[in-house]
Structure formats: C-alpha cells, structure tokens
Chain A
C-alpha cells in the first residue's frame, strides 16, 4: 500500500481515541464505533485488488493532510448557498457546513414527521428504541462503511410515521468550505418511511471553495409496507471534491423506492447503491445520468437482492463521457431461489465523446429462480449517425444536432421525476453541461 494511504489510515486510527474522548463513552453507541474502527483497521482503504474496486482507485483522493474534525462552523449566509438549493420549491432543509449543522440555514420539523439531526436522534433517550431497531442495521461491514460508522456524528434523520405523506420534500444539503484546509467528512443519514407513508428527498454534496474535500457518506433507508420514497442525489461538485456515497435500502412488502443519481461533477465519485427486498410486490428503481469531462471519474456500484416472489427492479443508467473521463457501471442483480415471478431490468447506455474517455460496464446477474423475467442491456457507442443526418437535413447544424441528441439521450431518464422544478433544473443542467442552447423553453 502506498505511503499516503497508510499514513491517512494511521492518522484516522490514532485520531479515533481523541474523537471518542469527546463523545459520551457511556453511550451504547460507543461499542458500535469501537467495533467499526477495528474493521477499518483490519481492512484498510479498499484497493483495486478487490473485485468491487477493480476500476476505481481511491489513491489519488486520499491525503494524509486531511483535517478530520473541522472545529468551527464557518458562517455562511443564505446568499452563499442559494444557488445550490432548489429554492423555488417549498421544502424542509437540513444544512451542514463542513459537517456541522447550520441552524440558521435550516428549516427542520417535528410536526407531522421528523426531519432533523442525526445527533439528536442518537443522543435523545426517546429515540433509543428506533436507534436500536434501525441504526447501522443494514450497513455492510466493509471498510469505508465502517470508517463512517466509527467517525460519523452528524447527518440527517428523517422519519415519516404511518400513513403520513410528507407535505413537502426534504433537502439534505452538505456544504464544505474547508476554510484553508483539506477536509474529510463522514456524514450519516437515516431515513425511515413507515407503513403507507410517503416522502421525497433531495440530497446534495457541494464544495464552495477549491479546497480538497473527501466525503464518505452513508445513508440507511427503510421502507415499511406500502411506503414510498423518491430520493434525488445531485452530484455536481467542484474539481477537487470527491465523494463516496453509500446508500443501503431495505424494503418491506409493496413498498416503492426510486433513487435518482445525477453525477455531473467532482473529481472522483463512487456510488454504492444497494437494495435489499424483504417482502413481496416491491418495486425498486435506480436511475442515473452521468455527464463528465476532464479527468473526472464516476463509479456506480449497484445491487438489488430479490429475496421474495413477485417483485420488480428497474435500473436505467446513462452516461456521457468526454475528454479523459472514466466511468464504471457495476450492476449486480441477485434473485434467490424462492423469488419467483421476479421482474428485473437493467440497462446501462453510454456515449463516449472522445477517444480517450473510458467506460467499464459490468452487469452481473445471479439468478437462482426459474420463473423470472430478467434482462440487461449495455451499450457503449458514439452518437447515431443516421439520427445526426436526419437532424441536419432539417437544418440543425452538426454541433447543435450532436448536443440535442446527447440531451435527448440523457433527458429520457427524467421523464419520471415528480418534482417539476427539480426536473426543469436538471434538464437545464444537462443542457448547460452539454453546451446546447436549446431552441425551446424548458
């Protein structure tokens, strides 16, 4: 292992004790952290030797100069962050700056449902039964997850009680400034959607400066019977910001969970998105649009585990890669023997704009049931020449025709986005990103 990795690992382990000192050692949580740091100590940072990390090296983003505990809350005004919020919709906002909760920028609630802080959830006795039931229950014992469990103390906590439809979406906004230093952040979110409840969540990680930042985020999501969640992840960060986002979803009978991941920026982005279906008639959807350039890297690692009959999963990931950017799609679908009548669809379509751009697409279907409809398709190509000619014959110049085709290719994923303002924004971002001035209003 290279020295930097080793140095950062040692720094993390030795910092752990100091970190624990500040925390309440009497808390039950202490044992969990302690176990987690041991896992990290044993496994270290993942390397390309591991199958799951074959195409993504963390080495370029690990830095032993990372500050692990930013102390002061940098004061930001609403105007500093306004453009990163979907401000024209009415929503609850949970805002963090350098990992620290910003009360004056946030609007939380305990009214019809909870949208508040992980720290208060973990520390208040009244939440103890829920902590025991949900916290760290579905996070795998892998090194980055364990690292997060060991160090995380803040994040968003959302719980929508039985039969409640959240009246407005919740935005989880993580800003980093780093002031003058390099930062490593470990946010931790928990979302519980109880029986028959519904909520929409928008999650964003955004660096406000050019300082180096590595965010190692873990989100656990539970959907009880008939619950519904739409979760939108917006990843359009600055050039020196990297993100490892791990999201683990457990769904009960007849629940419906759709997670969208829009990856338009950042230095290195790794998305682990794993679904565990625990009941019948479940729908799990994952949709993603990746548009990157320069030397940016985005890795989608998905898993759907079908454990019961009559469930569905849909995966639709589109990628457009320019310059020397690299993409990875590793999509795993597991269908247990008992999970008959499973419908599992997976598609991953990519366009490489430049010769130097790379995509590694690897579908893995492991099906042990015999009465299922599973399909996967993966395409890696350039733009359709016939379509280009068609558009040009209608007077659309080549550059605009290419842009419009790419826009159409990516935009197709947005059809099912239910928040019109968000849809409009993402559409616009896609258009900007591709450099198309569309001849029509969005």
Chain B
C-alpha cells in the first residue's frame, strides 16, 4: 500500500530525513519509535504532504502511484489521514461543519455526490458512540478550548468519519491519561480492516500495549536503523536507544 524509497527531506535547509525506506501492506500496523528529534513527526508530515518540508530525493508510492508531488488535499483524497500531534484550533467552525466539509470535498474529488444530511447524521451518531463522544461536543468550535484528550479523541473521530486507507497517528498518546488512551486505542482497533493500514508514531511503548503493531521500526537521526516485531518495542522500553546508537556506529 505504501512504499517509501530512499526518502530525504529538509526543513529550512537542514536535512531531517536521511534516506528512509519503509513498506506497509494493507491490514498491517507499523510503529515508528525513536527519541526526540529523530525525525518521526517530520516523516508523518512529509507523507501527508506538508509543504514546509522539501523532499530532496526519493519517492513515496501510495496504491501504486507516486504521490511525492501531490498536495496535502490530493493525498487526503487518495485516502491518507494524519492525526496531528498538535491539532490546530479553528474558532468559528464547528466540529460537525468541519467534518461535513471535509467528507464532501473528498467525495467530490472522487466524483461522488455530497453525502445526504441524514446519512451524515447517522454516521456521526454511530462513530461518536464508538469513541464515547458527547453530542454537545460536535457543535463546539473545532479544537477551541479542547483539553488534550478531547483534541486527540476528535482526531480519531475525524479518522473514523473519513475512513482512510492509511492512517498516520502522530504521538496520539501524548497528553492522554490511561483511560483516554484506552478509549482512543479501542477506537483505532475497531476501525481496523484488512484493507486499511495504520502507522503509529510514538515515543513510548505504552500505546503499543493497546494498538499492537505487526512491525516496529526505530528511527534514529533521520534513518530507520532497526525493524522488528512488537518485542522490539518492549526492548526499547527497557533499554532505551543507546545500544542502537552503538550498533549503528559499529556497523
């Protein structure tokens, strides 16, 4: 579904990603772990098409098409979704209206009619129940005065509504207490199918107790230095990243 080949990216002239290779198949959950500043969030932003980052080299192939040159909205139309580490607040636009606009723009790009008001309402009801979201929440201005947990829950709610093929969860666990974390993880798990994939970016192993990855990658200084199964995450939790740094230097 997603192949990243030798991806190099810079921000303001500084190279952050230094040759990333990654391949994700439908139905899989991949996790990317790594210390602060290793380039995790940059990778998420670059896949989503953030124009602040310049791709110097390499390709991003999604569903057999090279999407490296596509705008963020075009990537979303193809089914890529990024759950933000720091969701932006937009006073004056309600959660409901934002999601309606988003869904209908995506449908438009696929040549579909707008979703009927009753279908929209029905789906919203269904998905908000799944994530334990109160109906009052839906009429609030997007992310305005939301608590950390509400913001993250709202991101996953949008994901549930948009049903992307590839969901990238950037530090979705940060700022969540354990109960909120469980709700969010539970929501993500319920949305999993054989046809979609999830890329979880996280600092801590704890989220991976709930969203169990098929593959864990370690990102260090802009490169994936090790990949393994879920036990790799546990080892990182126990031993930190230092042993990998030595390994990289020695290699």
Contact = CB atoms under 8 A, between A and B. Distances in A.
Interface of A: 384-387, 389-398, 400-401, 404-405, 407-412, 438-441
Given A390-B84, A396-B105, A397-B105, A408 B72 contact: no
B249 interface: no
A410 B91 CA distance: 10
A385 B90 CA distance: 12
Contacts of A391: 90, 98, 102
A408 B92 contact: yes
Interface residues of B, number: 35
B104 interface: yes
A398 B88 contact: no
Given A389-B50, A395-B103, A400-B105, 6 more contacts: A390-B84, A393-B75, A394-B76, A404-B93, A404-B101, A440-B96
A57 B40 CA distance: 55
A254 B101 CA distance: 43
Given A387-B88, A389-B50, A395 B105 contact: yes
Given A389-B50, A408-B92, A394 B87 contact: no
18 contacts: A385-B52, A386-B88, A387-B88, A389-B52, A391-B102, A392-B72, A392-B73, A393-B48, A393-B72, A393-B73, A393-B81, A394-B102, A394-B162, A395-B77, A395-B102, A395-B103, A408-B91, A440-B97
B106 interface: yes
Contacts of B82: 393
Contacts, number: 87
A439 B100 contact: yes
B90 A405 contact: yes
A245 B51 CA distance: 45
A22 B87 CA distance: 68
A411 B76 contact: no
Contacts of A404: 93, 101
A395 B158 contact: no
A400 B102 CA distance: 10
B104 A398 contact: no
B109 A395 contact: yes
Decide if the interface of chain B is mainly helix, strand, loop or mixed. helix
A56 to B, nearest CB: 29
A395 B84 contact: no
A380 to B, nearest CB: 18
Contacts of B75: 393
A266 to B, nearest CB: 25
Contacts of B101: 396, 400, 404, 438-440
Given A384-B88, A389-B51, A396 B73 contact: yes
A394 B168 CA distance: 12
A75 B66 CA distance: 66
Interface string B97-123: 110111111100100001001000000
Contacts of B222: none
Decide if the interface of chain A is mainly helix, strand, loop or mixed. helix
Given A393-B48, A404-B101, A398 B87 contact: no
Contacts of A392: 49, 71-73, 76
Contacts of A385: 52
Contacts of A405: 90
Contacts of B117: 441
Interface string B130-152: 00000000000000000000000
Contact of A407 (B76, B81, B92): B92
**Nearest 5 CB-CB pairs, A to B?**
A408-B92, A395-B76, A439-B101, A392-B72, A395-B106
Given A394-B162, A398-B71, A411 B48 contact: no
A398 B77 CA distance: 13
A67 to B, nearest CB: 44
A37 to B, nearest CB: 47
Contacts of A400: 101, 105
Nearest to B115: A439
A214 B44 CA distance: 57
A411 B96 CA distance: 16
A392 B81 CA distance: 10
Contact of B104 (A409, A412, A439): A439
Contacts of B81: 393-394
Interface string B144-172: 00000000000000100010000000000
A406 to B, nearest CB: 10
Nearest to A400: B105
A396 B88 contact: no
A390 B88 contact: yes
**Most chain B C-beta atoms within 10 Å of own C-beta, residue among A387, A389, A411:** A389
B63 to A, nearest CB: 16
Contact of A439 (B52, B73, B114): B114
A359 B82 CA distance: 36
Contacts of B72: 389, 392-393
A262 to B, nearest CB: 15
Nearest to B168: A393
A397 B73 contact: yes
B76 A390 contact: no
Nearest to A405: B90
Given A389-B51, A390-B84, A395 B90 contact: no
A410 B93 CA distance: 11
A390 B77 contact: no
Contacts of A390: 84, 87-88, 90
Interface in B40-92: 48-52, 71-73, 75-77, 81-82, 84, 87-88, 90-92
